[in-house]
Amino acid sequence: MYYILVIGDIVGKTGRNVLFSHLPELQKEFDINFTIVNGENAVTRNGITEKYAYQMLEAGADVITLGNHAFDKSDIFPMLEKGDRIIRPLNYPPDRPGDGVYLTEKDGMRIAVINLIGKVYLDEKNSCPFVTGKKAVENVKDRADIIVVDFHAEATSEKQALGYYLDGEATAVYGTHTHVQTNDDRILPGGTAYLTDVGMTGPVESVIGLKKEIAIPRFLGERTKTFEWAEGEAMINGIVYGIDESDFKVREMTKINRRYNG
């Protein structure tokens, strides 16, 4: 069996620290061959910097995926342009730095990771994730044994629809962005492993990462400009795929939802 670990959106310092401290032991526990980390919320006010991206890679990530905050910090642009083990959603306008597909080989397996962003409740200017995603999968299928898709999207319906749209072609399609892990991991009829959202890696006592004392007033109409990720008890959310090396299909899925003292 070949094991891939996916880690949900790293949120702030709490998320970074819990990842750096506990990723190696998770990789050991699940006998992981390849690790994908979504790093789009690594810094305050979102985005990621080169320093933290390299720290994630040093901690054991094989590739970093991003989302709607991919371009919030221009510090990451050179690393994106080099394509140094970091990708951003493929269906952004083509003038944006970086690529949305990462191809590599590890432990005898050729792997393609594709990052896409949804359109529903997100930036409508992006090209269609369905059309772009299908083309990308077709483009890499002769060069990859395993194709994994990180679909960074808000709407559960858009995520499920893309899962079915790529069913039988992608090895696994999982969602990121909502920061709440869903409980619908399953194998679709065509053989693609599907999960609506892997969740987030960051502070437990928070509103999707944000301090609840800042998040709640926003819903009460206060236009506060304050932005602070919460701290304290941390969680790691993710999923492990066990992939059969004879036919490259997912046979096992284990969701990760661990808590660690702050």
Chain residues that interact with Fe ion, rule: CB under 5 A: 9, 40-41, 67-68, 177
Please identify, using beta-carbon distances, which residue of 62 and 150 lies nearer to Fe ion: 150
| Identity at 38, one-letter amino acid code | N
Q: Which two tokens stand for residue 113?
A: 């990771």
Please identify, using beta-carbon distances, which residue of 103 and 208 lies nearer to Fe ion: 208
Please identify, using beta-carbon distances, which residue of 121 and 205 lies nearer to Fe ion: 121
Q: What's the min distance (Å) between Cβ of 13 and Fe ion?
A: 15
Of 69, 152, 177, 179, the active-site residue reads 69
Residue nearest to Fe ion (CB): 9
Helices (H) and strands (E) in the chain, counts: 6, 13
User: How would you class 226 by CB atoms within 10 Å of its CB: exposed for 0-12, middle for 13-18, buried for 19 or more?
Assistant: exposed
Residue 58 C-alpha from the chain's centroid = 17
- Report the alpha-carbon distance of residue 29 to residue 147 in Å, rounded: 24
The answer to whether 69 is a known catalytic residue is yes
Please identify, using beta-carbon distances, which residue of 177 and 192 lies nearer to Fe ion: 177
- 3-class SS at 86? strand
- 3-class SS at 139? helix
Q: What's the min distance (Å) between Cβ of 65 and Fe ion?
A: 11
Q: What's the min distance (Å) between Cβ of 121 and Fe ion?
A: 11
Active-site residue numbers? 69
